[in-house]
Amino acid sequence: MFYPGLLAGLVCWLVVIGRRLGGVLLTLVLAANLWIAADFRRVMSAPPLRVDRRLAALGQLESDPRITSFNVTIEDFWSRLWANAFLLRKPQYFATHTYEARLNTTLKGDWNLSDSQLRTAPLADADILRVNEVFHVVRVAAPGRLQTGWVDGWHASEKNGPDRWRWSGGAGRILVTNPAAQPVPARLTVKVQVLAPGRVELRIEEHSLGVRDLDGSVQELVFEHLLFQPGNTVMTLTGPAGARAGGDERLLSFALHDFELRAVPAN
């Protein structure tokens, strides 16, 4: 990034010693620098990455006496970098490395800080704090805590402001991990949108938990009486056959806009 300025400075020496070529080169270098600077200003008038109010709100977690340390499991690199900057006064542990010598380590924090679209909620409301529509923290030792992760069948995440979604080509799988020694009953709430009217089915391993009819708008679906045994369980959302639309070469079946898996008391 310093090369254009250094080059202009070096060419100045040619001008000082009276080289005509140096004057020409200096003029060309300065003109090129001005053109690049103008183009950079144009691009940064609408920056692709910025520290917005949602990121800045993480700073309020530093003053919460309940939270003593964080496992920073934020997926987005830019957000992970700035979360580190806003929370410097409390110990942080990283699943994935970030800038400024924050290497991935064993996760020893008391709370998990996440930006995942796959939100989970333990039994007690006091064990989860929603900072905003993107970030939340969950107490590691909370009864009923479940962990989730993308498996396969999903395209890359997309967003428009605070709204985020992922398209599936037909069958999208999600891994649910129960770290406890006993089963955890739960309720799933999702918002999905099918490319064309059709049905969406939820399965846990080989068992169907229900089929819902969708009309093509973003609709909220609730699935009750889910039970997750200790260890790993695969959950699958299956929609209509994927199709291409609007010049998109991907096969699109349904988009997952929101996901909350909440533990509920055992009957």
| Strand 171-178 with 231-238, pairing | antiparallel
Of 2-16, 133-147, 238-252, minimum mean pLDDT range: 2-16
Average pLDDT, the chain: 88
- Decide if pLDDT at 109 tops 90: yes
Q: Which pLDDT band, with edges at 50, 70 and 90, does 18 fall under?
A: low
Q: One-letter amino acid identity for 184?
A: V
* Average pLDDT of the residues in 68-89: 91
- Decide if pLDDT at 209 tops 70: yes
Q: What is the pLDDT of residues 220-237, one digit of tens each?
A: 999 999 999 999 999 999
* Average pLDDT of the residues in 84-92: 91
Rg (Cα) of the chain, in Å, rounded? 25
pLDDT at residue 179, rounded to an integer: 95
Distance between CA atoms of residues 267 and 263, nearest Å: 12
pLDDT at residue 5, rounded to an integer: 67
Residues in the chain: 267
pLDDT at residue 17, rounded to an integer: 60
The vertex-106 CA angle with 104 and 109, nearest 5°, equals: 105
pLDDT at residue 58, rounded to an integer: 94
pLDDT at residue 203, rounded to an integer: 95
* Average pLDDT of the residues in 175-188: 96
- Decide if pLDDT at 13 tops 90: no
Q: Show me where the domains of the chain are located.
A: 3-44, 49-143, 146-267
Q: What is the pLDDT of residues 1-12, one digit of tens each?
A: 666 667 666 666
pLDDT at residue 136, rounded to an integer: 95
Plot region of 130 (φ>0 → left; ψ -120 to 50 → alpha; else → beta): beta
CATH class of residue range 146-267:
mainly beta
Distance between CA atoms of residues 136 and 145, nearest Å: 14
* Average pLDDT of the residues in 203-217: 92
Chain mean position to CA 20: 55
